[in-house]
Copies of this chain bind each other. A is one copy, B any other.
């Protein structure tokens, strides 16, 4: 490819893995947005998806399992001039890390949160996750999963996310569009990507037969009600695209501390007298 956004690290994903599409779409989106590599930070979780950091030539931090959102939040608030993009797996985001999602959404920190949703724990060799379909046999559910899967889009919507989208790793053109829009969006942009895992759960043909682009319908993504209805659609036809997008003041915009410049650029000139007044 030879993009400035690509490193020369050897890629270790399984050939055919849906992660390649996500990587390529991200690179293309960065190119289109023409962001300086130094001004972008990827925050990735633990899992196959987490490797993406190594392949993208921007700043990055590979965090611990499930903690993409709080780390990304700390970065963004500390330096709101950076473009901060989180990458998490479905295990990372919806199992161990689920407790952070509704809060990031209602806080509306200006982050892009991309979920590599392969409906399986990839890196730990194929166990059930919160998005694995009911009945499916995995290494930890050899007699079939008995839990109803989560609907992550609904969850993000009711939590107050201001940009909610679904992509499919089999439709990279569309994915580039979603990433570009998500990164441009001011506020918390949630993008769930249906990502086939060719080794443990190959869903390419399943999804290819079913997905359709919302952008090719007359769907209106500014209505919360419609977004909820659309997000409930899952079966013979599966919508991909932007389900919801509104502008709401971000967390950082409400922080008076950041009015002048990013925290990281503020000089340390401490006047302790104000503090001492309270204590006297």
| Interfacial residues, chain A to chain B (CB-CB below 8 A) | 96-100, 102-103, 106-108, 130, 143, 146-151, 154-155, 157-160, 224-225, 228-229, 232, 248, 251, 254-256
Contact = CB atoms under 8 A, between A and B. Distances in A.
Contacts of A150: 102, 106, 159-160
Nearest to A147: B107
Given A98-B102, A98-B103, A99-B99, A158 B148 contact: no
How many subunits of this chain does the assembly comprise? Answer: 2
Contacts of A96: 99
Nearest to A98: B99
Given A154-B158, A158-B155, A158-B158, A146 B255 contact: yes
A155 B99 CA distance: 12
A199 B100 CA distance: 29
A96 B100 CA distance: 9
A248 B248 CA distance: 37
A154 B228 CA distance: 11
Given A146-B254, A228-B228, A251-B147, A155 B102 contact: yes
Contacts of A100: 99
